[in-house]
Amino acid sequence: MTETPDFQALRAAMVREQLVERDIADQRVLAAMGRLERERFVPTAYQAHAYADRPLPIGEGQTISQPYVVAYMLQNLALNGDERVLEIGTGSGYQTALLCLLAAEVISIERLENLSRQAAARLAALGLSNVHLIVGDGWLGAPQFAPYQAIVVSAAAARLPKPLLAQLDEGGRMVIPVRERRNPEEQTLVLIRRTRCGLRARRLCGVRFVPLISDQAAAQDN
Ligand code: SAH
């Protein structure tokens, strides 16, 4: 017989060792990640590893991001609780749930219906209702709810999606992994800010995400 892991202790250790001891200092992000049960968002077979310092498979060839990467992206969004946020790549719904705790309203797009459906059930079970899930191509964003004070993309794009830039509010922040043109195996996490004077981009660090799959992006290549 296997014992049920002490998830609460594992969660507290994850926050301390993987987040605080690195460079996560946003107290709201730390509190939300200290509270949200990540084990609810991983397949049963991986539950014992829910707080491991790495991504985990969630089916359909996709992954739930490493806790640190989620924290780092959220910290760079600098949320204060008033924002309408757009997320591309709902996946397991873990980051979506954190956004529900950290912002006013969340719109999240996932291209795989099955993953979106499972995420919806998890969010509902947690009583999180300030969220609107959409099945579709996130490259296009969701202009019907724009502008967004924050946009976070959880899959690596070949370049910056113009529709998303257009939906970013003045003063808004967007975090997105972008594949390097010279070596598509390499990805860089980029922070975009829309100021009164236009868009500002800053490279944050190297990352490894599953690819953003988009017919729209492909069509625009031609
Ligand atoms: N934050 C999620 C990450 C899931 S992985 C988590 O931690 O669980 C990235 C997700 O992006 C995958 O579920 C994949 O299906 C989705 N995705 C890829 N291309 C997409 C697109 N064009 N539009 C919407 N979702 C996309």
Ordered by where they begin, the domains of the chain are 64-221 (3.40.50.150)
Q: Is 92 in the pocket of ligand 1 (CB under 6 A)?
A: yes
Burial zone of 72 (CB within 10 Å; 0-12 exposed, 13-18 middle, 19+ buried) = buried
Mean pLDDT computed over every residue of the chain: 96
Which residues face 104 on adjacent strands?
none
Instruction: Identify which has the larger pLDDT, 154 or 3.
Output: 154
| Separation of alpha carbons 36 and 23, rounded Å | 20
CA distance 152 to 71: 12
Has residue 221 got a pLDDT over 70?
Answer: no
Q: Is the CB of 36 under 6 A from ligand 1?
A: no
pLDDT tens figures, 74-124: 999 999 999 999 999 999 999 999 999 999 999 999 999 999 999 999 999
Per-residue pLDDT, 1? 57
Catalytic positions, please? 65
What is the Cα–Cα distance from 35 to 38, expressed in whole angstroms? 9
- In Å, the largest CA–CA distance within the chain is 62
Measuring CA to CA, which residue among 190, 182, 133 is closest to residue 156?
A: 190
Q: For a pocket test of ligand 1, which of 123, 213, 215, 220 has the largest count of ligand atoms closer than 8 A to its C-beta?
A: 213
Distance of CA 154 from the midpoint of ligand 1 (Å):
6
On the question of pLDDT at 181 being above 50, the answer is yes
Query: 18 CB less than 6 Å from ligand 1?
Result: no
- Testing ligand 1's pocket by substitution, the residue of 40, 41, 60, 62 carrying the most ligand atoms inside 8 A of its CB is 62
Cα separation values, 125 from 100, 118, 159, 170, Å: 13, 11, 36, 34
What distance in Å separates the CA atoms of residue 128 and residue 20, rounded to the nearest whole number?
Answer: 26
Q: Using one digit for the tens of pLDDT, what is the confidence trace for 194-208?
A: 999 999 999 999 999
Q: Which residues pair with 202 in a beta bridge?
A: 191
